Structure 1
Amino acid sequence: MKTLNLWKTSSIVLVTLAASLMSTASLAACRTSETEPNNSDTAANTGVCSGVTITGSISSSTDYDWYKLDVSAAGPINITLSHGTGIDLDWYLYPATGSYVSYKSTSNNPETGSYNAPAAGTYYVRVKSYSGSGSYTLNVTFPSVGGDTTVPPIVPPITAVVTGKVWLNGGLILQENAGIFVNGLRQATGKNTSTPNINSTTNCSTDWNSTPCPRVAIITAAAVNQADGVDKFNNDTASGAWSYYNLFQRHGFSPKHILSHHDTYANNSGNSSSQGQANIAIINQADLVYVIGGDQSRLARTFLKDDGSDTPLMAAIRTRYAAGNFIYAGDSAGTAIAPSTSYGEGISIGYLNQNTIRSITPANCPYVAPASDGTPAPSCLSHPSNVDFGTKIKGFGFVPNANVDTHFDNRASRSGRLGRFIAALKNIGPNVSYGIDQNTALYINGDIATVYGTGGVYVAEATSSNFGTGTKFSASSVRLSYLTEGDSFKFSDRTITSTKPLLIGSGGVNYQFSSALNSSNIFTVDANGVGSSSATFKHMIDQTPTTSTGAAPSDTYNPLSFTLTFKRDGQTQGYKNATGSYSGPYTIKKALLDIN
């Protein structure tokens, strides 16, 4: 009892003394200089104190300096990076998992910026070279407990890849594909689930106050310009492709058109013009948005401001999504822009040779009218020094905890996308990526991602420790899975559920092939749109040998060659629906991929 009374009467003195000692000790432990190696988040320098300047040095274009911040509460994180003359260094701010949430990549010195952290947790600052090498100073201010960096961070777990419903088409969906449009996307809205007449373009009333059909706002801003977008929405083509109005009417939706494009966004993505207000009114009443394919940089330019922040039109979409019962749906470019960071252009061998990804902002994408023959201007994602290299730009953030790629193994020669898919996984940051085939969709509903359609979805899982830090790109033991229709991936615990009953190589089901399939050019795609990457990977899961390899040869534009090795271990499982001679669909769980 005396001890209790003493504690009560002395509490103010003791707390004051403890705070003083904490402050003194923490200041003594504050980091003031960079220590190598710190080339990844797992090796990040610790001991960063709010407001205490750190000196460091970048030695090359592949030298990344990482710093760990223990942010004790919601509030602003302010970053200032100063560097020597004749060089250009940039910084990126990352949460505990996922892509960066803020960055500065301008020609300014110092590079300054801020981010309003929504909650306590671990954050990372990465310093890198845009050009040149040399010394720098870094100063970060952030909410902290008396500057004490020993306080354990509060890291809220990520339990879902999205917070609501996101529908991602991989591109070139057959227009008659009711499995995706009716049994998939329309079912996901929960409205008007009766079977529509696919031969009718008047299935649904256009009066959104009375129609029982799902109300879809069609965004055609990935098109060349507004005139092209209006044409795609209203007119069937001479070759028999349906307009977007007719496509959605045939599948039982009531469509309306959002009129804001690369050439009209300054007026139509705001809230002060009559068209901007009309666009926002459509969004406020819609059950979903559907963002068509084309060029995702046009989408970024149309819906994001120069600095990457939301226009009023995008803010309206985000508000509806956050409120629930609203679906973000995309196709091709509309899918590629859905994550926090979108990447595009270039090919796999180029991404591996580049071993980084050029970064631009919407301000780098001004509208350029098509040539007199109608040819559109090159995408601003095209790399200025090598057309095979890739570029990234801020995305919409509806898939904040994963990367997404489309047309996955179906594009023309030299364009199989597995290489750029893994390179983006290293250089953008999330530790999960989805690669979606054509005529295939991935429906992400909170924690569960489910596959629809005739192709498949690659799922790659990695951390920074899976990637080499040398000048040549390398990766080791990246978990690689392949899901087909009916399969699902649970983001929170990374489990895969398959609808296919037979496990290859066990339960009395023999492997189909006795020898390995190895590819002499792993990124080629044949005339039927079948990529060597997919063919080799699927063969590996159904062959007696546990590994298959694929060569990625050098060429005129890309001097470095690579070898991709697919392999099985104790976690790997493969499923298919039939025995004997069989080509698919396979489900592949937790195989491994090395790139060297």
Structure 2
Amino acid sequence: MHTSFFKSIVVTLAITLSQIASAGTCLTAEIESNNADTTANSGVCSGTSISGTISSSTDYDWFKIEVAAAGTITINLSHASGADLDWFLYPASGSYVAYKSSSSNPETGTYNAPAAGTYYIRIKSYSGTGTYSLNVTFPNNGSTPDVPPVTPPITAVVTGKVWLNGGAISQENTSIFVTGLRQATGKNTNIPNINSTSNCSTDWNTTPCPRVAVITASAVNQADGVDKFNNDTTTGAWSYYNLFQRHGFSPKHILSHHDTYLANSGNTSTQGLANIAIINQADLVYVIGGDQSRLSRTFLKDDGSDTPLLAAMRTRYNNGNLIYAGDSAGTAIAPSTSYGEGVSIGYLNQNTLRSISPSNCPYVAPASDGTPAPSCLSHPTNVDFGTKIKGFGFVPNANVDTHFDNRASRSGRLGRFIAALKNIGPNVSYGIDQNTALFINADVATVYGSGGVFVAEATSSNFGTGSKFSATGVRLSYLTAGDSFKFSNRTITTSKTSLIGTGGVAYQFSSALNSTNIFAVDANGIGSSSATFKHMIDQTPTSSTGSAPSDSYNPLSFTLTFKRDSQTQGYKNASGSYSGPYTIKKALLNIN
């Protein structure tokens, strides 16, 4: 469901009074601040153009329309050259029901409203900033609108169930595959025999097992995807068929990849219809890791709209009949906008994100030695820089990053995580460690596995407008197995018993841990960002710093400061010498 930003009563009252003053007239220009559904501009008249300006990547403009009867809503958004603005249409509660995110100008689309009701339009920047003109036509009662009291819609991060693996999941991790994902389906909850590759019948009309449609479209091509689904490797990695059989699922393979999508993601070919038939019976889809740009190319048309295959998936999901599950790239593609490639210091030096569309990602065959073509997300001038591309929108109100703080040297992902938070827009982001999962069930996100999940909140933060990236007041939390984050009111729940820093649980460390290379990852896959952040919550000094040094690729250096204040709390389950797992609530992060 769509994001609500919690504004002060004074600001909300001032905006409401301003709009009431113009009740009975048609809105012709946006009234700031309308950055949230709770402060959306009312007074929208059918067929009356509204002028506005998007001033930054984090500027949203919300408009509220009152539809008097069932019928067609038509939205036309034209914008200044040099900008690429998108619109999203939301019902009074729930995720968006229509959107337009393409390179067209104007961005025009329609939605057939099933009944009278309240709808919201959100305008945001995909790239660039500038002025726009919004014109909406919709069924009305022929009179100018009154302005009702502002009633916040129900808010949540997703409308159904979304399972997000952070990558590198141990194939024998039953806490994720059985206790977690399989239990989430609510089907055949008996414990499977992990040593058997025939736990479940493949007859989907009779099997009691959860039916999983495995999507391998992030693989190099369809031949590679078929191999991954069917064949164990010589190094002992299970095929996806055997992985899911061992954990008590009945798997089938979706045969559409970026070298075959034109036929196989449509609804006119034999294989395309077969793929849609699988989706229409599945209890969940599982999208494997690889390159998320291949997923965008496979499931989205050139203009960013759904292919028939993704449309079938979305319909099942919206009706509550399908869980979306991803791993690595399959997780990264779940939000409305996905980003990838590059490293933290590159993202901070870049201070923006290059934008591409699915049409920028044509299939290129591997080299003669089997080496895949470079990802279309790779930046043409600097391999450390990042790129954003259209995602699937199953997590419409948050960003997601994977392999968090577990990648090789120079790749700890906290920097790119915060840079993407600034440049893409949602004010909540999840960074999921390897061998860890985040299960988002409507309003509540719960952690599974052996690592943790970083949660960044930018509701009250400030991002610098200069040429150098800077951020102040970002709230950063860290959750481990069993912890949960409630999206609507931004609260964290943990079962850990010891509140660090209280009378009974003194801080373990007397001095701060400061890092000279905050994005480094050691030989054991432990990132300096994680180590410094966890140490900060259990040390007497209230802050720690980490340096992000410049290098031959990136001339600017940065300092990250982690800090406790009155909102910050830390938890653990033991005293004395302790290394985790910690739970950290709402510390502060500054980058300059």
Task: Pick from 72, 83, 92 the counterpart of residue 86 of structure 2.
Answer: 92
Q: Look up the match of 2:581.
A: 585
TM-score calculated relative to the size of structure 2: 0.86
1:283 paired with 2:279, answer yes
| 2:63 aligned partner, one-letter code | L
CA deviations 1:27-75 (Å, max 9, x no partner) are 7x844xx99x999889x997997644749798xxx79986553434483
Correspondence 1:25-424 to 2 at 5 A:
26=25, 30-31=28-29, 51-52=48-49, 54=51, 69-73=63-67, 75-83=73-81, 88-93=82-87, 102=99, 106=103, 110-114=105-109, 116=111, 120=118, 123-126=121-124, 130=128, 138=133, 140-141=135-136, 151=147, 156-424=152-420
Which among 558, 565, 568 is matched to residue 569 of structure 1? Answer: 565
Question: Match of 2:4?
Answer: none
Deviation at 1:575, TM superposition (A): 0.9
* Alignment partners' CA distance in 1, 2:189 and 2:240: 20
Q: Which has the larger radius of gyration?
A: 1
State the partner residue of 1:468: 464
The CA deviation string for residues 226-280 of structure 1, in whole angstroms up to 9 with x for no partner, is: 0000000111111111111111111111111111111111111112111111111
Which amino acid letter does the alignment assign opposite residue 78 of structure 1?
N
Task: Find the counterpart in structure 1 of residue 12 from structure 2.
Answer: none
Contact 2:261 2:298 in 1 (8 A): yes
Seen in structure 2, the aligned counterparts of structure 1 residues 129 and 400 have a Cα distance that, compared at 3 Å, is closer
Partner Cα distance (1:503, 1:117) in 2: 52
Structure 1 Cα separation of the partners of residues 101 and 191 of structure 2: 50
Counterpart AA for 2:87: L
Superposed CA deviations along residues 399-457 of structure 1, whole A, max 9, x for unmatched, are 11211110011000111111111111111121111110000001111111111100000
Return the offset for 1:146.
8.3
Provide closer, same or farther for how the CA distance between residues 509 and 104 of structure 1 changes in structure 2, counting only shifts above 3 A. closer
Distance (whole Å) between structure 2 residues aligned to residue 310 and residue 151 of structure 1? 35
8 Å CA contact 1:300–1:337 kept in 2: the answer is: yes
Whole-Å Cα distance in 2 between the matches of residues 569 and 56 of structure 1?
36
- Does the 8 A contact of 1:30 with 1:47 survive in 2? no
Q: State the Cα distance separating 1:80 from its structure 2 match.
A: 1.5
Q: Contact 1:41 / 1:68 at 8 angstroms: preserved in 2?
A: yes
CA distance in 2 between partners of 1:57 and 1:192 (Å): 50
Question: Which amino acid in structure 1 is aligned with residue 84 of structure 2?
Answer: D
Change (3 A) 1:210 1:556: same
Question: Relative to 1, partners in 2 of residues 1:99 and 1:517: Cα closer, same or farther, differing over 3 Å?
Answer: farther
Please tell me whether the aligned partners of residues 35 and 62 of structure 2 are also in contact (alpha carbons under 8 angstroms).
no
1:274-313: CA deviations, max 9, x gaps? 1111111111221111110001111111111111111111
Whole-angstrom distance in 2 between the partners of 1:339 and 1:55: 26
Asked whether the 8 Å contact 1:520–1:550 carries over to 2, the reply is yes
**Conservation of the 8 A alpha-carbon contact between 1:297 and 1:365:** yes
% identity of equivalent residues: 72
Give the superposed CA RMSD.
Answer: 3.2
Instruction: Give the conservation status (yes or no) of the 8 Å contact 1:180–1:452.
Output: yes
- Would you say the 8 A contact 1:356–1:423 is kept in 2? yes
Which residues of 2 match residues 2-21 of structure 1 at below 5 A? none
Please list, as runs of the form range in 1=range in 2, the aligned pairs for 1:510-525 lying within 5 A after superposition: 510-525=506-521
**8 Å CA contact 1:235, 1:243 repeated in 2:** yes
Q: What is the rounded CA distance, in whole Å, between the counterparts of 1:321 and 1:137 in structure 2? A: 33
Q: Distance between the aligned counterparts of 2:96 and 2:351, measured in 1?
A: 17
Deviation of 1:595 after TM superposition, in Å, equals: 1.2
Query: In the aligned structure 2, how far is the partner of 1:100 from the partner of 1:282?
Result: 23
CA–CA separation in structure 2 for the residues paired with 1:121 and 1:337: 26
Residue 443 of structure 1 pairs with residue 445 of structure 2: no
Moved more, 172-181 or 551-560: 551-560
Query: TM-score, normalising length from structure 1?
Result: 0.86
